[in-house]
Each structure stands twice: as C-alpha cells, then as structure tokens.
C-alpha cells in the first residue's frame, strides 16, 4: 500500500498542491521529508521541481542520505557553489566518501577542496583520506587520538612487501603469512605441508620414484608449495587493503557520530 | 548398447543423485518463491540455485580457446552439482572455493585461476575468520571475498 499512514498521505497531497504553484524548492518541507525519512515523497517532490534553482543541491543531499555516489556527484557538479556553502552537507559528504567507494578519490581530489578553507572538519577528513594514500608522509600526531592506533596498524601493514612474503614462504612454508601477521594461517600451512612432504618422502623411500603413489604425493606437495608462495604474495596485498579500509571506516564512523548530520 | 559395469554404476550414481535432488525441489516454483519471500533468502543462495556452467563473454581469446579451461570448469560444475550437494558442504567464505575457482579461471585463465581457487581452499579453516578485519565479515559471519580485487 502506498500510503501507510496519514502523514504520508498528507505529504503526498502537499506535494501535489504545491508543485504546480511554486518554482522554488521549499527547504523547510524538504527538511521535514528528510527528517522523517519519507523517501518516496521526498523523491517525488524533488522530481517535480527539476529545473528550479536549488533542486540539484537538494537532490545531491537526497543522494547523500540515500547513498548513490554517481547521482550525488552529478547533482553536485550542477550546483557545487550552493552545496559548498553548506558546511554540514560538505562534512557529511566527506564522511560518506571515507567509506570504500570508487568515487572517493574523485571527491577528495576534485570536489572537496571547493569548500571554504574555514571548514575545519572537512579539512580534517581530507587529511585523513590523504594519510591513507601516503601513510609514511603523515605524522600520526596530527590525526585524532581515537584514530591513531588504527593508523599505526595501517602503517605497519603498508610497510610489508609482497615479494618478501613470497620469498619467506619459499624458504619456510607459511613464513610469509607469519610475516604479515596471520599466525593461524602460518601454523596450518606449515603443519599440512610438512605432513604432505613427509608422506611424499615416505612413499619415495618405500616404493621408489616411479611408483604412482610417490608421483601423486610429490605432485601434491609441489602444488601446495607453489600455492603457498602465490598465496603469501596475494595475501599481503589483501591484508594491506583490508586494514586501510578498516581505518577509513573507523574514521567515517568517528566523524559520523561526532558531527551528527542535520538534514535541514 | 551394452555398458560395462563401472560405467553403468557411475550412471546409476548420477541418476540417484539427480533423484534426490529432484525430491528436494519437489514443491512448485510458486511455493519456492513464497518461501523465499517469507524467509528472505539471500542472493547468494538464489545464485547457487541457478549456477551457470560457463560465462566466457568477457574472457580473452586464450581462455576461450583453451580446452583445459573447459575441462577445469566442467569438473568444478560437476563437483558443485553432484558431490557438494550430497556432502552438504558448508564454506567459510561468501563465494565458495569451487565457485571462486570457476570464476577465477573465467577471469584470469587456467593457471592463475586454479592458484587463486587452491589458495582459498588452503585458507579455509575455522580460525581464518579471526585473521580478517570486522568489515570483511558478512552478517552471517562469512568472509567476504571477491574474484576481482
């Protein structure tokens, strides 16, 4: 059912009555729709106002509240000056783009700086994003205290080199995984590879090299050994990326709670 | 046509597995769709019901014309539809090892694809969840993984 309660019906009725009469967006009404999360009515109202001044700004805020990064940036480009005049919306957008998103780089490189320099929070968030891209050029003391431990963890993970992990795994099976901090994975790899190796050696000792069992066991050992080296290399990349995303997510949560978004 | 004993046994096994599978899916599609809507079945389960044999639309020509690709993907498909359902295998990952291997072979070719699949298989043990960050675990406590990183 479209109208689940009388407020929704009244909102819809208000949209129908007001849309044809006024060319300007009613910001108070949009604020009401946004606060009460009346998504359908909100979209219907803004949809009927397309072309009026301020609609792209309101649509950008709408796509920030109900996330759609592509449409947000499209509407932001149309009325970027108006959007940047709203410090609350800029901070909210920066907080949102701290979360993993393909458009995050575009926002922080091309759009975020358009906001006035006195938007302290926006500058802080931009610095946090920059720190994630260049961890060794950032002083950890410039970041908020609550995020420093996450950042140090990320710095630690960023310093790990995949080729060193692969070489370690080639020398001692699983050592590359220990190098990146996966203790359980190291233990399992070392134990299972030793077991398969011992089995291969035993079958070679008893049956000789030509026996099918020896060939299977040694083939299994060689495959597992190659997978272990490849896995260490791949795992280093994955772990670094994962810790980076966790750091950015924690930063996003921190700013989200600290500066509660007011859609008005 | 006369079939030898092992071949006929294999066919019988395949037929039986198909029979069990058919019994599980006995309710009509309407019932299934109603149950899905009521229980809120997740997308991965729905995808698992409609597994494709092969999807090489975006693959390069080396992968498309390599017979080993078809052999490996066929083996994975057989495992998923015959063995996996009988042993009711449960995976720690959002994308299971066999599905990951299949998709990786489609995306990267036989060598790298097999290595990626085997790497996931060797990393599939209960304690592995503790070596991932919080955001890398899904709501049902499975590790979120992706073919393309």
Task: Please report the pLDDT score of residue A258 as a whole number.
Answer: 66
Chain segment A135-154, per-residue pLDDT in tens: 998 888 888 888 999 999 99
Complex ipTM more than 0.85, yes or no: no
- Between A185 and B23, residue with greater pLDDT: A185
Would you call A246 and B119 a contact, using CB atoms and an 8 Å cutoff?
no
CB pairs under 8 A between A and B: 49
Chain A nearest-CA residue for B135 = A246
Kindly indicate the confidence band of residue B119, based on its pLDDT and cuts at 50, 70 and 90. very high
Q: Compare CB distances from A185 to B116, B118, B128 and report the shortest one's residue.
A: B128
Please name every residue paired with B143 in a beta bridge, in sequence order, or none if there are none: B93, B137
Cα pseudo-dihedral A205, A206, A207, A210, rounded to 10: 0
Task: Check: CB of residue A196 under 8 Å from CB of residue A224.
Answer: yes
Chain B nearest-CA residue for A178 = B131
A192 contacts: CB under 8 Å, gap ≥ 6 = A224, B122
Average pLDDT for B92-96: 90
% of chain A exceeding 90 in pLDDT: 44
C-alpha A162 chain-centroid distance: 22
Distance from CA of A153 to the nearest CA of B (A): 12
% of chain A exceeding 70 in pLDDT: 88
What counts of helices (H) and strands (E) characterise chain A?
14, 0
Q: What gap in Å lies between CA A5 and CA A97, rounded to an integer?
A: 34
* Chain A residues inside the 8 Å CB shell of B117: none
Query: Which range (A44-53, B13-22, B39-48, B95-104) has the least confidence?
Result: B13-22
Q: Compare CB distances from B127 to A184, A235, A242 and report the shortest one's residue.
A: A184
Distance from CA of B105 to the nearest CA of A (A): 15
Task: Please report the pLDDT score of residue A230 as a whole number.
Answer: 95
Q: What does pTM read for this prediction?
A: 0.72
Task: Check: CB of residue B106 under 8 Å from CB of residue B73.
Answer: yes
Would you call A184 and B125 a contact, using CB atoms and an 8 Å cutoff?
yes
Chain B nearest-CA residue for A248 = B135
Distance from CA of A55 to the nearest CA of B (A): 35
Chain segment A122-137, per-residue pLDDT in tens: 888 888 888 998 899 8
* Chain A residues inside the 8 Å CB shell of B115: 226-227, 230-231
Q: What gap in Å lies between CA A169 and CA A178, rounded to an integer?
A: 9
B120 pLDDT more than 50: yes
Chain A nearest-CA residue for B123 = A185
* Chain B residues inside the 8 Å CB shell of A188: 122, 125, 127
Would you call B133 and A242 a contact, using CB atoms and an 8 Å cutoff?
yes
Residue B129 touches partner A, C-beta closer than 8 Å = no
Chain segment A163-205, per-residue pLDDT in tens: 999 999 999 999 999 999 999 999 999 999 999 999 999 999 9
């Amino acid at each position: 059912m479209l109208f689940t309660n009388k407020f929704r019906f009244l909102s819809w009725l208000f949209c129908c009555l007001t849309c044809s009469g006024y060319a300007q967006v009613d910001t108070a009404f949009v604020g009401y729709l946004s606060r009460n999360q009346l998504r359908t009515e909100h979209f219907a109202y803004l949809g009927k106002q397309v072309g009026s001044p301020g609609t792209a700004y309101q649509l950008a805020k709408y796509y920030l509240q109900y996330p759609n990064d592509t449409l947000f940036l499209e509407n932001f480009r149309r009325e970027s000056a108006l959007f940047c005049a709203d410090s609350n919306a800029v901070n909210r957008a920066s907080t949102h783009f701290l979360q993993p998103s393909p458009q995050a780089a575009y926002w922080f490189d091309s759009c975020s700086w358009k906001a006035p320099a006195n938007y302290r929070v926006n500058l802080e968030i931009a610095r946090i994003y920059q720190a994630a891209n260049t961890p060794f050029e950032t002083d950890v003391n410039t970041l908020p205290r609550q995020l420093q431990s996450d950042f140090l963890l990320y710095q630690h993970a960023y310093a790990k080199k995949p080729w060193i992990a692969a070489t370690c795994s080639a020398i001692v099976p699983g050592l590359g995984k220990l190098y990146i901090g996966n203790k359980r994975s190291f233990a399992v790899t070392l134990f299972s590879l030793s077991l398969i190796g011992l089995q291969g050696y035993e079958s070679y000792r008893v049956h000789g090299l030509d026996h099918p069992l020896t060939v299977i066991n040694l083939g299994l050992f060689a495959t597992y050994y190659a997978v272990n080296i490849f896995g260490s290399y791949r795992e280093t990349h994955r772990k670094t990326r994962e810790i980076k995303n966790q750091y950015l997510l924690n930063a996003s949560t921190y700013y989200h709670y600290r500066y509660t978004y007011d859609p008005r | 046509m006369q079939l030898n004993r092992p071949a006929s046994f294999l066919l019988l096994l395949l037929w039986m597995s198909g029979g069990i599978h058919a019994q599980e899916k006995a309710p009509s599609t309407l019932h299934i769709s109603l149950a899905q809507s009521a229980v809120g079945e997740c997308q991965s389960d729905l995808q698992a019901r409609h597994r494709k044999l092969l999807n090489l639309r975006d693959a390069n020509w080396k992968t498309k014309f390599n017979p080993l690709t078809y052999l490996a993907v066929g083996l994975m498909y057989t495992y998923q539809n015959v063995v996996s359902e009988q042993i009711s295998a449960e995976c720690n990952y959002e994308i299971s090892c066999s599905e990951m291997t299949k998709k990786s072979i489609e995306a990267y070719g036989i060598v790298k694809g097999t290595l990626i699949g085997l790497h996931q298989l060797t990393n599939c043990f209960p304690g592995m969840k503790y070596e991932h960050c919080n955001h890398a675990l899904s709501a049902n406590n499975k590790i979120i993984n992706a073919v393309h990183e």
